[in-house]
Amino acid sequence: MHPQSELAPIPRIGYGTWNRSSEEAYQGSLWALEAGYRHIDTAQGYENEQDVGRAIRDSGLDPREVFLTTKVKPGNFAPGRIMPSVRESLDKLGMDKVDLLLLHWPAIKNQFALEDYISQFAEVYDAGLADRIGVSNFTIPLLTRTIELLGDRPLATNQVECHVYMQNRPIVDHCRSIGLSITAYSPLARGRVADDALLRDIGKAHDAGPDQVALAFLLHEGHIVIPSSARKERIVTNLKAGEIRLSDDEIARIRTLEKGMRLVNGDWCPVWDT
Ligand SMILES: NC(=O)c1ccc[n+]([C@@H]2O[C@H](COP(=O)([O-])OP(=O)(O)OC[C@H]3O[C@@H](n4cnc5c(N)ncnc54)[C@H](OP(=O)(O)O)[C@@H]3O)[C@@H](O)[C@H]2O)c1
């Protein structure tokens, strides 16, 4: 376990691998690393940890240069199960620890007690299997209780859905107030931003596409973003969004795109903050 002050900041643009087959996750991660990404997001539930690990090894980079996140799936929250599941993940990744380990979702329908699975999570961190720990899809009440339970172990991020059409103000504002970074997932609204006239219009002044403007907006908000693509040219252009500087007026116009469009929702989800 490292003192947090010695850890490098999380690279602001990562490559997402949800719903990517083995071959896509491998090839996409290789292209991403070649393009200059130094952050990859995978999860037990994506069933491609072994492919991401292989891509990092085959990239020729020192694996320590690549910030890697994986996530524990709620099916592994049963008592005594988190530590072995993380060891299985590390075996698949071919690593002895990850940079960031997240709880992918709160326990579905409270199937497992928060006190128990957070205590297991703390043990994994204390054992040095992850440099940082964080959560995903945690609401304000869950986050508050989790922070209490973790004591002096710091949380590195809350990974939540966030894009121009669902800027997720309640949890974003809360996390900002407690100094916790947001990692924005589905930052391209799963490709929907590509057809947006306002983003396209703003992009003209920056020689950029609507997708890049959508990512630049989230970066301006202070978020980490983890767009996914299976196409090499998009993997490259998505990373270049980091070079765009939007004006205050452009930011204000993009904020008006908010329409509460939550894309990842279902009966496994917690009751979202409003
Ligand atoms: N923690 C969680 O519960 C959770 C949930 C969802 C996602 N995530 C993470 O967040 C990552 C990103 O989210 P996501 O995959 O849901 O959605 P996303 O990144 O918002 O969108 C991906 C979709 O957009 C398309 N796309 C990518 N770049 C584009 C571009 N420049 N122009 C137009 N279309 C583009 C992709 O199609 P092509 O492949 O054809 O380019 C793909 O269909 C995931 O891969 C995963 O790592 C986490």
Burial of 53-79, coded b for 16+ CB within 10 Å and e otherwise, reads bbbbeebeeeeeebbbbbbbbbbbbee
Closest C-alpha residue for ligand 1 atom 38: 229
Among protein residues, the one whose CA lies closest to atom 41 of ligand 1? 229
76 domain-assigned: yes
Query: Is 53 among the domain residues?
Result: yes
- Please tell me the distance from the alpha carbon of residue 68 to that of residue 156, in angstroms, as a whole number: 13
Q: Provide the number of structural domains found in the chain.
A: 1
Answer yes or no: is 267 within a domain: no
DSSP annotation of 75: G
Question: Does the residue 98 lie in any domain?
Answer: yes
Query: Which residue stretches of the chain are H helix?
Result: 22-35, 49-58, 82-93, 114-126, 140-150, 169-177, 197-204, 210-220, 232-240, 248-255
Contact 35, 235 (CB under 8 A): yes
- Is residue 46 among the annotated active site residues? yes
For residue 108, is it within any domain? yes
What are the distances in angstroms from CA 28 to CA 14, 91, 138, 191, 230? 12, 21, 28, 16, 6
Ligand 1: nearest atom to the Cα of 189? 20
Indicate whether 82 belongs to any domain: yes
Q: What is the CATH number of the domain that holds 72?
A: 3.20.20.100
**Is residue 205 a part of any domain in this protein?**
no
Catalytic residue among 46, 117, 125, 165: 46
Q: Which domain holds residue 171?
A: 9-191+222-241
What is the number of residues in the chain? Answer: 274
- Tens-binned pLDDT, residue by residue, of the chain (274 aa): 556 668 999 999 999 999 999 999 999 999 999 999 999 999 999 999 999 999 999 999 999 999 999 999 999 999 999 999 999 999 999 999 999 999 999 999 999 999 999 999 999 999 999 999 999 999 999 999 999 999 999 999 999 999 999 999 999 999 999 999 999 999 999 999 999 999 999 999 999 999 999 999 999 999 999 999 999 999 999 999 999 999 999 999 999 999 999 999 999 999 999 9
Q: Does some domain include residue 145?
A: yes
Q: Is the pTM value of this prediction over 0.75?
A: yes
How many whole angstroms separate alpha carbon 83 and alpha carbon 72?
Answer: 10
